[in-house]
Structure 1
């Protein structure tokens, strides 16, 4: 154990934040899975042990990923990106449908589901970081600098959006933010945002147009707008816009009740009442359960840990002497923290329901393991930056001694 501890490097603050979030996950999942366990004739302990197993595997992934030199991820970036495209296409047409969304594929033999968008997101940010680091001399040019960056983003987002629009929007927003930091021409970024806003504005306009204010309910959509998940997107926008008037905005109402019951210090661990009524209290709406059991103080502490994680990742970005590692650490930290902020915003009704989990806290699955992989890569960049910093300090000491 001591040898393992001695080999553990990277930003210690990030390690502490990750461990604390994982511990919170175990506590809240054990509390929030009682109704699910009863419905499926299982014990709540079985879900606790399952989450513990995912946590143990996740930390193994973090450890081994952070021991690998991050430059190897640059070599794997193109391969993973190419692999992710056919996987996304397969998922789009033949994916397993869970909770009205076709985002998963079933792995043979082990019979587990795997969310291909998680791999695609990781591969895309590796590839973007590589391209940004290699094209800084031509970064302002549209053909040489911008197109090689935006085309992969457009492909991945277009393949993810039909089944998981919220994830596609998060990936697109994080990619543009990374391009902005990577000195991409602001005109090109602004034009991309403008083009991306056109379908979103159209979707919002349709949501308002097909809402009956007199009866407080959604109107029937024409056949052309009843394809795929478009009705679900429209319904979520309507539920958010008219949450105080629509009786069917059940998730939002139950989340508000959970937050109101929590007060400043909460009802105490395991004392949630809304876990029996709130859909998916162990994944999409786990933050509402945290506030109900640990109060506003607990909710703020969770938010603080994610912001601390982001702050330390920005520090790694500044310390890393090589562009690829700096961009990679920043991209992966941005996507995790933005996802966390969106999840929390949904829980407190500041954002329409999206279906994205709270990283490291929501019940484990492929998303949890890929989150751990991302954290391991960030810590790999931190470990190598510390090593180079220590080597430089040792050389300076040696020079001063010789003088």
Structure 2
């Protein structure tokens, strides 16, 4: 058996998605290597090799995770959904009380013994999407019923989003919107969707009110108010964040149409978190508007391939979980790009599969593995039908 045939045998599922994973990985390695110069100067005496190796190892582990997750039958994720949701709620509660506080937010838990940290909201987002997909898929016969279908879905959605929102409002808002879209696609009654939106607004308003009276309970409530007020006024509330957005805007302006060339970014020396939150600006500076459009095009192509799976899947859970995960990846990418373009307030959401990161990259790889598992099933079902 030749090498290409061997690869085709091992990597089942949508070939385009596999190709996109490879392209994202290559772009990530190149972009991270270009954008960590300032970080390397501060922590590693100017050596960027350490971060290149570290990021390469994380990406390598992530690719192995994609492969393992795509091998498993996607129906297993449906069976695990209730347990994953309970674990997500427990981890979010632990983060609220025992999490590491960075920039006035508790979003990370330290893993005992090994000393590594991970962002629990990354796990919770994936767990909730899988659970909502399972609920919609298993309740198609009663999907229009309030008590039988809507209540079992809305309670976990509001609960998990509220726990995430305490320290990460942008992630909670994005997750809430994704669940909303999943329910619309899953044919949940429109009046219940409107009720869900109103419930979300009420829960958020209540959290702001409680936070204003008891700031120690919800310490970021004042930050939420400030961000909303300043965003409506067209201003960034955090002067440091505004400065970073300005640098990112200058970087993209410098890039022009064709860019300054690989490794020739100047603004990477000034933009804080150039390797993560603002890596898109560095890509545009070095590869121009054409490079930026290419990155956007890759995410759009990934989403369209996911939509293709949704239309071809004969199982409701497979269609819904693929749609939910695909939408999450697309929205996170566009939120990150919108921040770089100064269209949204700074949110702290990384660019999926491109930004340097730890748990965010690994959970993104799990998500891609699940999508490929669904596509593998569709591919097998199509082959059997012919």
Q: Residue in 2 aligned with 1:364?
A: 357
Aligned partners of 1:259 and 1:203: how far apart in 2?
37
- The Cα of 1:99 is off from its aligned counterpart by 3.9
Match of 1:230 among 215, 221, 225: 221
Tell me the CA shift for residue 41 of structure 1. Answer: 2.8
Quick check: 1:313 aligned with 2:313?
Answer: no
Match of 1:119 in 2: 123
Q: Structure 2 residue aligned with 1:177, among 164, 178, 181?
A: 181
- In the alignment, which of 260, 283, 294 is matched to residue 301 of structure 1? 294
Other-structure match for 1:36: 39
Separation of aligned partners in 1, 2:10 and 2:57: 23
CA contact (8 A) 1:236 1:353 kept: no
Give 2:149's aligned residue.
145
Deviation, 1:392, is 0.3
Structure 1 residues 236 and 273, CA, compared in 2 at 3 Å: closer, same or farther?
farther
Deviation digits for residues 309-364 of structure 1 (CA, Å, limit 9, x no counterpart)? 00000001111111111111111111111111111111101111111111001102
RMSD: 2.3
C-alpha distance 27-235 of structure 1, shift in aligned 2 (>3 A): farther
User: What SS class does the counterpart of residue 102 from structure 1 fall into?
Assistant: strand
1:1-400 correspondence to structure 2 within 5 Å: 3-42=6-45, 43-197=47-201, 228-237=219-228, 240=231, 241-243=233-235, 249-393=242-386
Structure 1 unaligned residues grouped into runs of 5+: 207-220, 394-403
When the two structures are superposed, what TM-score results if normalisation uses the length of structure 1? 0.88
Please state whether the residue corresponding to 2:110 is helix, strand or coil. Answer: strand
Query: 2:92 & 2:359 partners in 1: Cα distance?
Result: 15
Give 1:400's aligned residue: none
Alignment CA distance shift 1:384-1:184 (3 Å): same
Q: Deviations over 1:224-272 (max 9, x none)?
A: 6685123333444455434499965212211111111111111111111
Q: In the alignment, is the contact (CA less than 8 A) between 2:132 and 2:153 conserved in 1?
A: yes
The Cα of 1:114 is off from its aligned counterpart by 1.0
Distance 1:366 1:222 in 2: 32
Is the CA contact (8 Å cut-off) linking 2:212 and 2:221 kept in structure 1? no
The alpha-carbon distance between structure 1 residues 320 and 223, as it changes in their structure 2 partners (threshold 3 A), is closer
> Which structure 2 residue ranges, 5 or more long, are not aligned?
none
Separation (CA, whole Å) in 2 of partners of 1:130 and 1:175: 12
Q: Distance in 2 between matches of 1:350 and 1:244?
A: 10
CA distance in 1, matches of 2:169, 2:320: 25
TM-score, structure 2 as length reference: 0.92
Task: Check the 8 A contact 2:251/2:267 in 1, yes or no.
Answer: yes
Look at both structures and tell me which one has the larger radius of gyration over its CA atoms: 1
